[in-house]
Structure 1
Amino acid sequence: MTTSTLDLASLLCSRLCHDMLSPVGALSNGLELLADEDDPEMRQRCFELLEQSARISTDKLKFFRLAFGAAGGFGERIAVSEAKALIEALVAGNARITINWAISADALPKPAIKTLLNFALFGIEALVRGGTLDLAGELRPEQIGDGTAELVVRASGPRIAFDHAVGRALEGSLPDAEMSSRTAPAAMLHQLAETLGGRLQFAIGEDALVLGAVLPGA
C-alpha cells in the first residue's frame, strides 16, 4: 500500500461527507416540513427532530475532527475523558450497544487517541445487531520519549460484521486500487503506526472483533 497523502486525505474527506450526509439531510428535510406545517403539535415535533439532527451532526463533526483531523494540536496529550465523551455521543441513540472502559491513563498522546477513536468506530460499525464495546489501554513510561501506548478494543455481539478490506488496510497489505473511503481510516492508522515504529493487529470471529495497537513514543 503506497497511497499518497493527498489521496488518503481525499478519501477521508469522502468518508466524512458520506457520514454527515444523513444528519445534515435530515436538517434540510425538517426545515422544509416546518415551513409548510401549521399544526402546533406537528411544528413542535419538527423542532424536536431538528434538534436531534443538529445534535447528531455536531457530535459526529467533533468526533471526526479529532479522529481524522488535527484537533488538539500536534504532539499534544489529550484527555481520555474527551475521547470517552466523543465515543459515547456516537452511540447515544443506540441502546443496543454497551460501552465499557478500562484505560488507566488520564491522558494519552494524540496518535493513541486517534487510534482509539478509529478502533471504536470500527467496533461500533461491526455491532450491527448490538453488543458490547470494551476499550482498554495503558501508557507504559519510557526513559526517553512520552512512553508506549498499548490499546485494545473488543467488539462482541451476534454476527459481527467486519470488512476484511479494512483489516488489510490496517496491516498495510491492501492494494491502492482497492482503497476506498471505507478503508481510508484504517490506512491512515497504518501509516501513523508505521511512522512511530509501532504495530497494529486484529482478530475476527463470528461473535467478536479484537483490535490492538502498540505505539512507541506516541
Structure 2
Amino acid sequence: MTSQTDLAALLCSRLCHDLLSPVGALSNGIELLADETDPEMQKRCMELLEQSAKTSTDKLKFFRLAFGAAGGFGEYVPVEEAQEVIGSLAADAKRVELNWAISDAKLPKAAIKVMLNLAQIALDALVRGGTLDIGAERTGGNVEIVARATAEKLAFDETIGQALQGELPDADISSRTAAAHMIALLAKEMGGGLQFAMADGALVLGAVLPEPEGMIG
C-alpha cells in the first residue's frame, strides 16, 4: 500500500510539474526584458511576465485549497472560494466554457477538495477546449458532486479513472494519478465513493460523500 510519505512526495512532484512551465516562462521573460531595448518587445515581455505570474498564482491557489489546509480548521468552506480557483484555471486554459449548478453557499471541506480535484481532472481532459459543468448538492445526509467535460476531443487516461475508483495497483500510482488516489482515499475514509464514465463525447466524474456527523442540515 502506498504510504502517506510516498503519496505526499508524488503530490509534490505533481505541484512542481504544474508550476515548472509558468515559472520557467517568468524566468525567460525576465532574461529577455533585461536584454531588450525595443519598446514593442519590452511590452510583449511584460505581457508574458504578467500572464506567467497570474498562471503561477492560480495554480498555487488551487493546490492550497485542493491539497492544503486552506479554509481554516472549520468543517465547511465557502463554495465561492472553489469557484474562484476553478474559474481562474478554466480562464488560463482558454476556450473552456464553465457552468455551475451549486445552490449551497458552503460545503464540507472534504467535499470542496474532491470537487476541486474532479474539476481539474475534467479540465485536463479538455485539451482543445470545450464545456466544463460542475454541480453539487447536499441531499439526504450526503453531498453529491459531478464534474462533466464535454468536447469533440477528450484526452483522459483511464488509469486516473482506476485510481478514482480505488482499483489502480500501488505500483502504478504516479504523480499523474496521485491526486485521484488521494481523493479516493478521502472518500473511502468518509464512507463515500467516486466513479467515472465516458460516453458520447463526455467525461463524467462523480462523488457521493456523507456529511460530517453533527453538521447535517
Q: TM-score, normalised by structure 2?
A: 0.94
1:88 counterpart residue number: 87
2:116 counterpart residue number: 117
2:22 pairs with 1:23: yes
Contact 1:193/1:200, CA 8 A, preserved across alignment: yes
* Alignment counterpart, residue 209 of structure 1, candidates 194, 203, 206: 203
TM-fit CA distance, 1:204: 1.3
Contact 1:123/1:209, CA 8 A, preserved across alignment: yes
* Alignment counterpart, residue 154 of structure 1, candidates 148, 155, 169: 148
1:39 counterpart residue number: 38
Identify if the C-alpha distance between structure 1 residues 75 and 3 changes in structure 2 by more than 3 Å, giving closer, same or farther. farther
RMSD: 1.3
Counterpart secondary structure, 2:171? helix
* Alignment counterpart, residue 179 of structure 1, candidates 167, 173, 176: 173
2:185 counterpart residue number: 191
Q: Distance in 2 between matches of 1:75 and 1:201?
A: 27
Counterpart secondary structure, 1:71? coil
Q: Distance in 2 between matches of 1:139 and 1:186?
A: 22
Runs of 4+ residues deviating >4 angstroms: none
CA offset digits 1:156-204 (Å, max 9, x no partner): 1113211111011111111111110000000001110011000111111
1:144 counterpart residue number: none
Counterpart secondary structure, 1:92? helix
Q: Distance in 1 between matches of 2:106 and 2:43?
A: 42
Counterpart secondary structure, 1:91? helix
Residue segments in structure 1 that go unaligned for 5+ positions in a row: 142-146
Q: Distance in 2 between matches of 1:89 and 1:128?
A: 16
TM-fit CA distance, 1:64: 1.0
2:133 pairs with 1:139: no
1:69 counterpart residue number: 68
TM-fit CA distance, 1:124: 0.6
Counterpart secondary structure, 2:91? coil
CA offset digits 1:27-54 (Å, max 9, x no partner): 0000100111112221122112111111
Percent of aligned pairs with the same amino acid: 63
Q: Which stretch shows the higher mean deviation, 12-21 or 198-207? A: 198-207
TM-fit CA distance, 1:4: 1.0
Q: TM-score, normalised by structure 1?
A: 0.93
Q: Which stretch shows the higher mean deviation, 10-19 or 71-80? A: 71-80
Contact 1:159/1:206, CA 8 A, preserved across alignment: no
TM-fit CA distance, 1:94: 3.6
